[in-house]
A and B are shown apart, each in its own frame.
Chain A
Amino acid sequence: MSAVWITVVALALATAALKLAGPLMLGGREVPPVAMSIVELLAAALLAALVVVETFGQGRSLTLDARVLGVAFAAIALLRRASITVAVLGAAVVTAVARALF
């Protein structure tokens, strides 16, 4: 099997295992309130981390490029109650225009 296919198969199995572990081990069981109060906040913490890594990350370094303008547009559009579609597609347009201009 080639390197590419080994990667595909391994990541398919690993992703399934990561998704299944929690629900198969402790599905439907009550968890302590302390754990629930952490779980409540997990989405906010992980989503914010994904935003900064995808906006400023360039491999293992941080960089400022046209993506920042696109993401800033999305944030302002959402603050002004724009739809998700407008915010996300607008981010690509702003980024593309900024790259074409500078």
Chain B
Amino acid sequence: MPCAVTATRLPDRTESARVRVRAGIRRGAPFGLAVFLIAVSYGVLARPVMGTVAPVVMSIVVFSGSAQFGSLAILAAGGGVGAAIAAGVLLNARYLAMGLALAPSLRGRALSRAAFAMTVVDASWASASAGDGTFDPWYMVGVTVPQYPGWVLGTVIGVLAGKALGNPQALGLDALFPAFFVALLFEEARGRRKRAAAAGGAGIALALTPVAPAGLPILAAAAAAIVASRMRP
């Protein structure tokens, strides 16, 4: 196993917010680098379709690889605005589930809960999961910290240096995204029920990809969590 059980990776909850954010930043640094490179490939691919400014603005205000790549693919294929937005919303619909999961761990006023909620990205949400259904919000913020500048800066470099970099696929950049999720999955899928949920989620996504619109296969994979929750631990 790459490291100890998920719960021990998180700092103690009695530590100060500052200590927990710092621990998160250390944890998020390698994700920041990976996200930077993924964003470069996004910038390269987006430039011919969206121009130079819109991809950068989108990385600043949307900050979501799956929705940005998904909507770009549809705009590039001439699929229309409605289809591009629908794909992006479906691809990000998992944030609704992730937000519902996070909610009980967020205390305090609505404004502070909203601020924490906006820092959710896949890597930080999964990393901040204690494995028992609770989350460490400050640690989550820390894991997101290296990824935001990485994502925005990578997009800027991608749109500006696109021609010099050539085809992102020739550089293997399209393998960064799935490899990134494999790394997250390795840390997450511990124990029989979690492995069953992962296997079920993968199976559902594979089965639905040829027949359902982009995003829906990922969202439907949540059903595997419901089924696996009925198993004995």
Q: Which residues of A contact B (CB under 8 A)?
A: 3-8, 10-12, 14-16, 18-31, 34, 36-57, 59-62, 66-67, 70-71, 73-75, 78-79, 81, 83-85, 87-100
Known: A4-B54, A36-B133. A50 touches B181 (CB 8 A): yes
> Complex: how many Å from CA A67 to CA B176?
9
A78 to B178, CA, bound (A): 14
With A4-B54, A12-B61 given, is the CB distance from A38 to B225 under 8 Å?
Answer: yes
Interface bracket on B: 35 or more
In angstroms, how far is the closest chain B Cβ from the Cβ of A58? Answer: 9
Specify which of A4, A5, A7 lies most central, judged by the most chain B CB atoms within 10 Å of its CB: A7
In the bound complex, do residue B117 and residue A20 qualify as a contact, i.e. CB atoms below 8 Å apart?
yes
The majority secondary structure among interface residues of chain B is helix
Kindly state the separation between the CA atoms of A76 and B25 in the bound complex, as whole angstroms.
26
**Residue pair A48, B64 in contact (C-beta under 8 Å):** no
Chain A residue nearest to B107 (CB atoms) is A28
Query: What 3 A-B pairs are tightest by C-beta distance, nearest first?
Result: A22-B99, A95-B172, A70-B175
Q: In the complex, which of the residues A6, A44, A71 contacts B178, with contact meaning CB atoms closer than 8 Å?
A: A71
Considering the complex, give the chain A residue whose CB is closest to the CB of B125. A43
Complex partner residue of B172 from A18, A20, A96, CB under 8 angstroms: A96
A74 CB to nearest chain B CB (Å): 4
Stretch of B11-19, B147-155, B157-165, B192-200 on the interface side: B192-200
Task: A31 to B88: give the CA distance in the assembly, Å.
Answer: 29
Q: How far is the CA of A98 from the CA of B133 in the complex (A)?
A: 40
Knowing A7-B75, A14-B92, A20-B117, the reply to whether A48 touches B185 (Cβ < 8 A) is yes
Q: Please name all residues of chain B whose beta carbon is closer than 8 Å to the beta carbon of A78 when the two chains form the complex.
A: 2, 182-183, 186
Given contacts A36-B133, A42-B222, A88-B183, contact A4 B75 (CB under 8 A): yes
Q: From DSSP, what is the main secondary structure of chain A's interface residues?
A: helix
Q: Report the Cα distance A92→B38, complex, angstroms.
A: 10
Residues in chain A near residue B85, CB distance under 8 A: 6-7, 10-11, 14
Indicate with 1 or 0, residue by residue over B95-133, a CB within 8 angstroms of chain A CB atoms: 111111111101110100110111010100110010111
Asked if B43 lies at the interface with its beta carbon under 8 angstroms from chain A, I say no
Interface 1/0s, chain B 173-190, versus A by CB < 8 A?
111111111111110110
State A31–B115 Cα separation when bound (angstroms).
21
Residue on A nearest B194 in the bound complex, by CB: A44
B66 and A56 contacting across the interface, CB-CB below 8 Å: no
